[in-house]
């Protein structure tokens, strides 16, 4: 099996046997963790409708900024999902918690870790994302840091401190 066939969520399964059926609506997420994995895969696959539609309805869904969500998904390179812990959220539960880290690189070249404790509810037999508590982000610069006296990366020929580093 080629790596490109593997599911972005890191389960080790193929996308077709893991998150794709949940995202495409041909299967329900059996657990809160499986919904979280599908939501992560949706960011990598740019499946914005699933991200929004897998949120608990009501006030919370109205607060979702579709454009910001789409921009975040499209303008990031996604590196992986790490499930840190789960609490409840099994097939027999009605609510659950999934703590996770999603690692990505912004278009500015900063590698970031989105650390969240997500709360999930089962509504009419379907797991839904309810609300999340975001932990402070970890930011790591990808590539070498530009020194003040280095040539500016914009190509102007000036030193960084006299150009874009002001």
Per-residue exposure over 98-136, b if at least 16 CB sit within 10 Å of its own CB, e if not: bbbebbbbeeeeebbbbbbbbbbbbeeeebbbbebeeee
Question: 72 is in which domain, residue-wise?
Answer: 15-135
Would residue 163 count as lying in a domain? no
Would residue 145 count as lying in a domain? no
Would residue 124 count as lying in a domain? yes
Would residue 166 count as lying in a domain? no
Q: How confident is the model at residue 149 (pLDDT cuts 50, 70, 90)?
A: confident
pLDDT, mean of residues 48-65: 78
Identify which of 59-68, 114-123, 150-159 has the greatest average pLDDT. 114-123
Would residue 157 count as lying in a domain? no
Per-residue pLDDT at 141: 55
Would residue 45 count as lying in a domain? yes
Q: What is the CATH number of the domain that holds 119?
A: 3.10.450.50
Number of domains in the chain: 1
The model's pTM is 0.78
Q: What's the mean pLDDT when you consider all of the chain?
A: 87
In this predicted model, what pLDDT tens digit does every residue of 65-114 receive, in sequence order? 889 999 999 999 999 999 999 999 999 999 999 999 999 998 888 889 99
Would residue 61 count as lying in a domain? yes
Would residue 59 count as lying in a domain? yes
Q: How confident is the model at residue 166 (pLDDT cuts 50, 70, 90)?
A: low
pLDDT, mean of residues 34-61: 89
Quote the CA–CA distance of 118 and 140 in Å, as a whole number.
Answer: 23
Cβ count within 10 A of residue 44: 21
Per-residue pLDDT at 11: 96
């Amino acid at each position: 099996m080629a790596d490109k066939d593997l599911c972005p969520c890191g389960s080790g399964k193929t996308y077709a046997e893991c998150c794709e059926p949940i995202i495409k609506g041909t299967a329900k997420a059996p657990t809160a963790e499986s919904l979280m994995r599908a939501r992560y895969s949706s960011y990598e696959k740019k499946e914005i409708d699933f991200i929004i539609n897998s949120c608990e309805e009501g006030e919370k869904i109205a607060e979702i900024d579709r454009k910001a969500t789409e921009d975040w998904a499209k303008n990031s390179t996604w590196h992986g999902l790490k499930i840190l812990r789960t609490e409840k959220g099994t097939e027999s539960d009605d609510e659950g918690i999934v703590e996770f880290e999603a690692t990505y690189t912004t278009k500015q070249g900063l590698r970031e870790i989105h650390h969240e404790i997500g709360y999930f509810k089962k509504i009419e037999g379907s797991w839904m994302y309810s609300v999340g508590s975001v932990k402070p982000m970890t930011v790591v610069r990808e590539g070498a840091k530009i020194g003040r006296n280095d040539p500016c990366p914009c190509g102007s020929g000036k030193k960084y401190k006299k150009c874009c580093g002001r």
